[in-house]
């Protein structure tokens, strides 16, 4: 019994194997400073003694004292019991972009569990709860904590979870079964950027207004314009929102179409792109839609394509 651990509510059992002759008298098991009588079990080779845990956390030595009728006394050191009633201090670190105070991710997030005080543990558990408090991920192990874990926004069944705020819960048990818990919330945002594109034109220019929607900031946009035959005309890019871009119409445009490709990227790497085959006609169509909208009709919604 070189090392054992218990909390202060445990009742401990000590066992020692008799290796001498059967000519022995009273036997006692001691836990300094308290002495307990060791009784013979049904197996005459086993001595047992019970001890109710001490109130004070500490390391206590355990010795076996053998007293013979002749007055001879022998003492054998058995080991130590460490009484521990305090849960180990733990913390969670979530490595991701901070948006509105929450670590936010699109494809994966690094979860770093930490023991704030070095101490052996018996087991650990990581669970992820959705906004309804339901467990969607449950993982655990024994012995030491892993240095880090990766969560890719999927449940224990391997299926992708919806965007939302999730709570990561770390539970750790030491060798005395004291439990410590740490909690951190994270935001999962796998959806591509939501953008609003408004186009208007005059005889000489096309004006494009870009606006951002959604939880995740967009940090890059690009407009690329080409003639109908694929010949490059102009590109504009930036990182500010809202943005307004005024593009002069080429003098040789005449009846040819001016194609516009639009790309948006948010800070998590999510992308959205759109292609407008005829920018001038699109702006005229948008103006007609606005006129219809003013009459109470529903506007036509643009279709966007996600890129990953």
Write down the pLDDT at residue 141. Answer: 92
Write down the pLDDT at residue 168. Answer: 97
C-alpha span between 29 and 78 (Å, rounded)? 10
Alpha helices in 123-242 (DSSP H): none
Write down the pLDDT at residue 180. Answer: 94
C-alpha span between 284 and 42 (Å, rounded)? 99
50, 11 in Cβ contact below 8 A? Answer: yes
C-alpha span between 302 and 197 (Å, rounded)? 9
Write down the pLDDT at residue 53. Answer: 58
Write down the pLDDT at residue 197. Answer: 84
- What is the strand order of the sheet 109-115 is part of? 90-95, 109-115, 149-151
- Give the residues of the chain that fall short of pLDDT 50: 1-3, 10-33, 297-308
Which domains does the chain carry? Answer: 3-83 (2.60.40), 90-188 (2.60.40.4070), 194-290 (2.60.40.1930)
Write down the pLDDT at residue 290. Answer: 53
Write down the pLDDT at residue 221. Answer: 93
As given in the structure block, the two tokens for residue 112 are 């770093």
As given in the structure block, the two tokens for residue 78 are 């058995």
Write down the pLDDT at residue 51. Answer: 64
Burial class (CB in 10 A: 0-12, 13-18, 19+), 66: buried
259, 226 in Cβ contact below 8 A? Answer: yes
């Amino acid at each position: 019994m070189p090392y054992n651990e218990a909390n202060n509510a445990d009742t401990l059992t000590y066992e020692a194997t008799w290796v001498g002759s059967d000519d022995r008298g009273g036997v006692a098991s001691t836990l300094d400073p308290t002495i307990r009588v060791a009784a013979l079990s049904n197996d005459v080779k086993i001595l047992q003694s019970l001890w109710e845990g001490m109130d004070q956390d500490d390391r206590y030595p355990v010795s076996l004292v053998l007293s013979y009728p002749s007055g001879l006394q022998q003492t054998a050191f058995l080991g130590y019991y460490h009484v521990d009633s305090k849960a180990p201090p733990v913390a969670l670190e979530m490595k991701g972009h901070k948006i509105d105070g929450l670590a936010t991710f699109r494809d994966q997030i690094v979860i770093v569990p930490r023991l704030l005080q070095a101490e052996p543990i018996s087991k650990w558990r990581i669970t992820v709860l959705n906004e309804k408090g339901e467990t969607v991920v449950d993982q655990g192990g024994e012995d030491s904590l892993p240095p880090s874990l990766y969560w890719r926004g999927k449940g224990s069944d391997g299926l992708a979870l919806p965007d939302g705020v999730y709570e990561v819960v770390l539970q750790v048990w030491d060798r005395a079964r004291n439990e410590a818990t740490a909690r951190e919330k994270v935001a999962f945002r796998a959806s591509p950027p939501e953008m609003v594109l408004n186009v208007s034109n005059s005889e000489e220019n096309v004006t494009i207004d870009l606006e951002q929607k959604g939880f995740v900031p967009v940090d890059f946009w690009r407009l690329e314009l080409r003639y109908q035959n694929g010949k490059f005309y102009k590109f504009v890019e930036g990182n500010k929102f809202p943005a307004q871009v005024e593009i002069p119409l080429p003098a040789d445009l005449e009846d040819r179409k001016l194609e516009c490709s639009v790309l948006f990227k948010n800070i998590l790497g999510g992308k959205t792109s759109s292609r407008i085959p005829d920018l001038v006609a699109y702006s005229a169509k948008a103006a007609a839609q606005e006129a219809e909208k003013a009459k109470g009709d529903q506007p036509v919604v643009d279709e966007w394509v996600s890129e990953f």
